[in-house]
Amino acid sequence: MNEKVVVGFSGGVDSLAAALLLREQGCEVQLAALDMGVYDRKLFVRRVREAASRLSLPLEIFPAPELFKKQVVDYLAASYLDGLTPNPCIRCNARVKFFLLRQAAETFQARWLATGHYVNFGDWEDGSRVIVQGVDAAKDQSYFLQQLPVEWLPMMKFPLGKLKKEVVLDLARRAGYPLDDYRESQELCFVKDGSYADLCRAQTDNAGGPIVNLAGEVVGRHRGIHHYTLGQRRGLGVAHSEPLYVYAIDPRHNRLVVAERRELYRTTFLVHQLNWFIEPENCPRRLNFQIRYRHRPAPASMEMIDRDTVRVVFDQPQFAITPGQGAAGYVDGCLLLGGVVSR
């Protein structure tokens, strides 16, 4: 093959395995690490250099702290303070990671860019190239790529899409990657304790306020709305005969509304800021919609309001449909559109 490919490289198992597979396929591999300036910056730089050396592949580190802060960190904090629950990984992939990898591909005059995401490609009925869920359902990451511009897809490769995680781990092990202390990361790359609260606290004087029930009665006080999301149960500190959950976040009045779990199920919601992977007129009106990362896509009907907004009606009520979260529409595992759950 002997085609040049830029591989987004974190020094972790997945990006290492992706680079290894592409090299085995005959590609000329150039590693590109994106330095977001996060809290463990020195550790990150050391890790990517050691991993690149282990593979004997060239590495370039691209600094991106200002872009990352503007497009992800500041956006995340502003959204939480507005009572929304955004997904930072969706935003980062479209506005930072793949944006910079495309620039790196141009810099190195590479035909392709690749990452270690567990996704595939397929062709839709109208000939459009679309993202398809990865073979390993437990690791599928197509949900996080729902905002990628469709015009970027022709230059992308995802070599791990047809592999199970255990196969990837074996590839890394054979390449000399130390797996004795390996564990999957469960935290945001830029928040040390996995919490958004400190991030928001640095940008606001948002104080606590009332917690009310559906009747408007004050039943407690919260610590600041940025500590909460729809469906949250922990940390409310409200005594009730049944467990209570965050039902709504009201930033205008700085209050939380709580209710019993059964009140948080609904079927209908709006999705806006749409990103179409096929032409809207070619999109079926029956899809499976995923409304958060660990949510199993559920059957739904979709009604077009305009090119930027659709109304979605689930066949069965779903728990805590949360404004600000990404909503991805699938048919037979093909990602056809992505958007943001509207308030």
Q: What residues are annotated to the active site? A: 92, 189
Q: Tell me the residue type at 229.
A: T
Secondary structure in 3-state letters for 218-260: EEEEECCHHHCCCCCCCCCCCCCCCCEEEEEEECCCCEEEEEE
Phi then psi dihedrals of residue 205, to 5 deg? -105, 20
Output the CA–CA distances (angstroms, integers) from residue 108 to 22, 102, 154, in the order listed: 16, 10, 17
Q: Which helix (H) or strand (E) holds 167?
A: helix 165-174
Q: Tell me the residue type at 261.
A: R
Q: Alpha-carbon distance 22 to 11, whole Å? A: 16
Q: Alpha-carbon distance 128 to 108, whole Å? A: 28
Q: Alpha-carbon distance 303 to 103, whole Å? A: 37
Q: Write out the DSSP string of 28-79.
A: EEEEEEEE---TTHHHHHHHHHHHHHHHT--EEEEE-HHHHIIIIIHHHHHH
Q: Alpha-carbon distance 69 to 38, whole Å? A: 9
Q: Quick check: 59 and 29 in contact, CB under 8 A?
A: no
Q: Quick check: 300 and 310 in contact, CB under 8 A?
A: no
Q: Quick one: tokens of 47?
A: 């890790």
Q: Quick one: tokens of 210?
A: 């009332």
